[in-house]
Structure 1
């Protein structure tokens, strides 16, 4: 299976893009995690990976979305992005996730990529703005992968995305990305309406389309319109985990998850400190769905000092890790509210209803399911997770 996957990458992707993902992402990403481990021994928490929502605007309005996509546009300028990335690079970071809204609505997104050829970017997108011209430029730059969100059949997609003919437009973007030999991923927020995508047939279809990796998220009941009826049951979440582990040994496609370690125990990237989030207003948040902050990128100290000296972020990590190995927002929304009030954190949304939304949430299960752990069964994933994506003593 691994040989088949390597053959796919060698024959289906542009040589420059393959080199960039191998060096800027894989090699330098490993180095970044190792530097993070060294910092932890000194009691310093600066994440090896940063996720940055560069703009709030989006042409879609998805069920369960927590972003103010229809509010007045907020975005991080090219100048501020360069400052954030350059500051993080000084401490070994090289991999950045670009989110939105829809990142390709940012008028300078390609300039951001061009300004940092020594970094690698994962762009979380609905794919509808990946035109032939954009895909060609992404190929020329070589330092970005597109992670395109596909939420099910045409009918399901239209319902989930709040607009008609969404899937066709997304597929056009995916085809442009494949045509120009980009490293292409497909992300799915698995919920009740698209649970059938948790299947071998779906992954085989992705492989046939030229997709190189899949990322299965489990649906998060958050935001102003959380749609709790879409949430998975604990048994379904366990089935998603079992499916991921099985398919990693069977098919020549990489499958990413961010919720379990090598032993199959649940983890939260925020609680372990491996990643934090910067919102479109420059607010420094624990993770994308926790929309409270005490610090902003406008802080003259810079992103490194703002993060490493934040009592709010420290308390959030420690409280989350002591409370659960799963998602504190799903399991204990009351604690999220308590932490925000205790630290005097401000609501980073434009709608200014984040506290009320927490009040309305009911406690529910997340990926933490003690006694039902499913360990990694493929040696590559097991080794990678054990050394570069695990608990970092957060749960000890």
Structure 2
């Protein structure tokens, strides 16, 4: 029986699909710095089966499949690429059903919905969760469309976890998301807590909110509001409408990292800092090594932030798509840096974009304003130059033993293509 710590106690997590099971596996994955934790994600049997399937099919199979059911959203957040997208791109229920069926055959059991706003497709999401009851689902949502009826469904189906977006207290959240958003989000959290539904939060941190979102005061507030886990993502300047002033400075990024690491250790609470925990995930996890992304147009992208592809799920099945030329080319370039504090080919090691752009038939999948990799490089190269000395210092502070462990596990986890 698994256990999960939460504000005020410790709960047994049943072995069958359950909305808190996803929280448990997420917490273990980002602490997988030894074999026990690595196998604990889904058990030794699953870990070995996954390796066998990789060698059988000849390509890497992700732990997690991230899917955008729609590009539509009920908010228009400042600097968000989804705000630029048309609202008409959707994956049909039939296509989503097909993708999930194929994912199960490949041994993928964790699915995350994002967008857009996935709850614009509320009924389809619930029906997919019910039909594919052996899968564990999660979704990144602004939460505003969660009402009492949906909360009751959420508690009933038991295999869907929600991560609610928030960016600080009222002033900071409403700054990007619109006036009144904070109050609506807190009302939803109170509703879920009243029904004893475990949920998580998702924070986009940027130049205007790093201090607040990493403070004990704010993190304590979210836990008291009922959150069981938290994800943090640094602002990525994707698309031609990106606001470069929102990119966190090196000192701000380091502040978030150090505070988050301290808080989760002190409070025994799982916080996942996507940009700064490369030393736990052993580098970039994109392009099927640990996760893969399908946008609302059906394009298979290496990552939700990496808007380039040579493959579309409307013309081929998932198995074929995961072994595409671009996915293989992307995986062969890894690691993008020997420093796990610089894992990302967008923000940390943009030199990789030059090599990645050489793969034939790769196109921009940004749904509104296509952006060449060369254009992206010009935006993020100065950021990486400023971050590098800070990243090098953080890496040195890990110690020789930890650095050797990272190198060893990176080789073990990195599936080598046939």
TM-score by length of 1: 0.84
The residue that corresponds to 2:191 in the other structure is 176
**How far apart in 2 are the matches of 1:132 and 1:17?**
25
Contact 2:239 / 2:370 at 8 angstroms: preserved in 1? no
1:1-40 Cα distance to aligned partner (Å, 9 max, x none): x9863863539x9x89995533897477456554443445
Whether the aligned pair in 2 keeps the contact of 1:261 and 1:386 (CA below 8 Å) is no
Q: Distance in 1 between matches of 2:349 and 2:312?
A: 25
Report the counterpart of residue 20 of structure 2 in structure 1: 21
Partner of 2:213: 197
* Local SS of the residue matching 2:335: helix
1:358 to 368, 376, 379: 376
Q: How far does residue 353 in structure 1 lie from its aligned partner after superposition?
A: 2.2
Q: After superposition, where does 1:137-156 map in structure 2 within 5 Å? A: 137-156=153-172
Establish whether residue 255 from structure 1 lines up as the match of residue 271 from structure 2. yes
Q: Which residue of 2 aligns with 1:316?
A: 330
CA contact (8 A) 1:125 1:148 kept: yes
Cα distance change of structure 1 residues 121 and 198 upon mapping to structure 2, 3 Å threshold:
same
Give the structure 2 partner of residue 294 of structure 1. 310
Q: Deviations over 1:122-142 (max 9, x none)?
A: 110001011111111111111
Question: Aligned partners of 1:176 and 1:390: how far apart in 2?
Answer: 45
From 159, 165, 168, the equivalent of 2:180 is: 165
Distance change (3 Å), C-alpha of 1:165 and 1:140: same
SS of the aligned residue for 2:127 comes to helix
Q: Is the 8 A contact 1:54 1:279 kept in 2?
A: yes
Structure 2 portions without partners, runs of 5+: 26-39, 400-404
Matched, 1:370 2:388: no
Q: Which moved more, 1:50-59 or 1:272-281?
A: 272-281
Name the counterpart of 2:9: 8
Distance between the aligned counterparts of 1:18 and 1:6, measured in 2?
22
Q: Is the 8 A contact 1:127 1:149 kept in 2?
A: yes
Q: Distance in 2 between matches of 1:249 and 1:75?
A: 41
Q: C-alpha deviations, 1:27-65, integer Å up to 9, x for none? A: 774565544434455652121211111110112122332
Aligned counterpart, 1:393: 414
Any gaps of 5 or more consecutive residues in structure 1?
377-382
Q: Any idea what SS the aligned residue of 2:112 has?
A: strand
Q: Judge which range, 354-363 or 213-222, deviates more.
A: 354-363
How far residue 178 of structure 1 moved from its aligned partner, in angstroms, is 1.7
Equivalent residue number for residue 95 of structure 1: 110
Maintained 8 Å contact 2:129/2:160: yes
Does the 8 Å contact 1:78/1:111 carry over to 2? no
Q: Is the 8 A contact 1:260 1:266 kept in 2?
A: no
Give the deviation of 1:264 after TM superposition: 5.8
**Aligned-residue CA RMSD (Å):** 3.5
Matched residues, number: 382
Q: C-alpha distance in 2, partners of 1:56/1:226?
A: 17
Structure 1 CA distance, aligned partners of 2:76 and 2:121?
Answer: 17
Q: How do residues 67-78 of structure 1 correspond to structure 2 at under 5 angstroms?
A: 67=82, 71-78=86-93
Of 99, 124, 144, the residue aligned with 1:128 is: 144
Map 1:332-343 to 2 at 5 A: 333=350, 335-336=352-353, 339-340=356-357, 342-343=359-360
Q: Are the aligned partners of 2:201 and 2:229 in contact in 1 as well (CA < 8 Å)? A: yes
- CA pair 339-262 structure 1, distance change in 2 beyond 3 A: closer
Alignment partners' CA distance in 2, 1:29 and 1:191? 34
In structure 2, how many angstroms separate the alpha carbons of the residues matched to 1:17 and 1:7?
Answer: 24
